[in-house]
Amino acid sequence: MKVLKFGGTSVGSVESLTQVKKIVETIPGNAVIVVSALGGLTDKLIATAKLAAAGNAVWKPEFESMKQRHLHIINTMVPLTLRDNVISEVCTLFSQLQRIYEGLYLIKALPEKILDETVSFGERCSSWIVAAIIKNGIRHDSLKFIKTEKWYGKNVVEGKITSHLIAQEFNNLQENEKAIVPGFISSDYKTGEITNLGRGGSDFTGALIAAALGAETLEIWTDVDGFMTSDPRIVKNARITPHLTFSESMELCSFGAKVIYPPTIFPVFHKNIPIKILNTFNPEAPGTLITDVSFPDDPPIKGVTALNDLSLIKIRFLDPLLKESILIRTFKILSENAYKIIPVSNSDSDDELHFVVNASDSALSLKMLNTEFAPEIGQGLTENPVAESNVSALALVGNEMKERYNLLSRVLYSLQRKGITVKAVGSPTSNTTLLFILDERQVKDALNLTHSLLY
Ligand code: ASP
Ligand code: MG
């Protein structure tokens, strides 16, 4: 069985839903179809919640336009026999949403929990519509089987329970049934509260289902032809990458390619289930196939991406013997707090430790490190950690990157010759990525230059 996931642009309009219907109805037998909210809706749900919580009455027309957008699609596309039922389901959900907005308008605050509930309405509504449009479509409620737990204040998937519940839910599909599933949303396995898998999380819903069912493939249907050698909005001659390994796709997504939500790859990678990236608006295009090993004719470098909004943190130590202890403690304290940290180095690395964190984690990271190293700082053995903001990571992703020393020096040389300063380099986690840490303002030039050097 296949699991297919259709993103927001694919389910965002009558035209795109017509395409989805065509694609899904040609699949023989059963399939699971995961759907996002109508394109742009999640952003709008959040923006409207903020308006209401700020006491701005404009939330009302915004709410009404979201509701009308759904009703328009239903009235245009849902067969008459099912229409009243779908209208009633969607209107019930919109009444609940309206009560939430009224509450926010009253209390003038936006608690995290309520925001999580608010954003759930997008997928809860779109799935009713898609189930009614597609022949043999039956809606399954992911709040019942995608379960999360709290981990350092974040909601993360409770894998065991979730895969057990998924197996149960889809074990007895009807003949030719297309099981329609709202992506992104989940519920806490202890409290039942509505949670979600993070922005872009519908891909992850698809992966969890594919892994739990041992699906033959996970197809991610989107609005581009696949992974590209770089961001085509920045690099004009970027082209499609027909094949990637799981780790290459993971690294490309972690470092800025917005094709799939990075956590998606883990569950299917473990079960060795191939992922295909396909374009709803150009279904004939071959797309990108993601599998476990490289193909013989794969090019060595699969792409150049950039990740923005980072901070470069530096800790200077006066006693070289301290280096290892500082490194270990830095990792420990930041990872215990669920911060992502990437070690990098440069020519100052003999007496400085360098690493990058998300800009949003920078201030708290500094605070924790200052506390952690207070004894050393007090004795003058270490200086106070400092952070440089507006930093980006340019990532080169491919096979066996650690062996490509001359590539590292070629890229460094070309960047420097064009006046682009590389603040540090690194090769995080795997043998798949080389990182160049730059000033955010030089990233576009760096992408174009590196792309033209490689392709
Ligand atoms: N609708 C959610 C979002 O916009 C999830 C998704 O589309 O994957 O983030
Ligand atoms: Mg997405």
Q: Note the pLDDT tens digit of each residue in 124-159.
A: 999 999 999 999 999 999 999 999 999 988 899 999
Q: Answer yes or no: is pLDDT of 314 > 90.
A: yes
> Which atom of ligand 1 is the closest one to the Cα of 36?
7
- Residue 129 has a pLDDT of 98
Ligand 1 proximity of 184 Cβ (cutoff 6 Å): yes
Record the tokens describing residue 351, joined without a space. Answer: 């007496």
- Residue 337 has a pLDDT of 81
Ligand 1 proximity of 122 Cβ (cutoff 6 Å): yes
> Which atom of ligand 1 is the closest one to the Cα of 37?
1
- Residue 428 has a pLDDT of 78
Ligand 1 proximity of 42 Cβ (cutoff 6 Å): yes
| CB environment 88-103: b (16+ within 10 A), e (fewer) | ebbeebbeebeebbee
Task: Compute, in angstroms, the gap from residue 7 CA to the centroid of ligand 2.
Answer: 6
Q: What is the pLDDT averaged over residues 427-448?
A: 92
Local confidence band at 247 (pLDDT 50, 70, 90 cut-offs): very high
Q: How far apart are CA 92 and CA 98, in angstroms?
A: 10
Ligand 1 proximity of 10 Cβ (cutoff 6 Å): no
Local confidence band at 55 (pLDDT 50, 70, 90 cut-offs): very high
> Which atom of ligand 1 is the closest one to the Cα of 205?
8
Mean pLDDT (the chain) is: 95
Record the tokens describing residue 90, joined without a space. Answer: 């969607």
> Which atom of ligand 1 is the closest one to the Cα of 202?
8
HSE-CB for 24 with a 13 A CA cutoff: 34
- Residue 398 has a pLDDT of 92
Q: What is the pLDDT averaged over residues 31-44?
A: 98
Nearest to 116 by CA among 221, 21, 192, 34: 192
Task: Compute, in angstroms, the gap from residue 12 CA to the centroid of ligand 1.
Answer: 12
Task: Compute, in angstroms, the gap from residue 5 CA to the centroid of ligand 1.
Answer: 11
Name the residue of 4, 46, 119, 202 to mutate for ligand 1: max ligand atoms within 8 A of Cβ. Answer: 202
pTM, two decimal places: 0.92
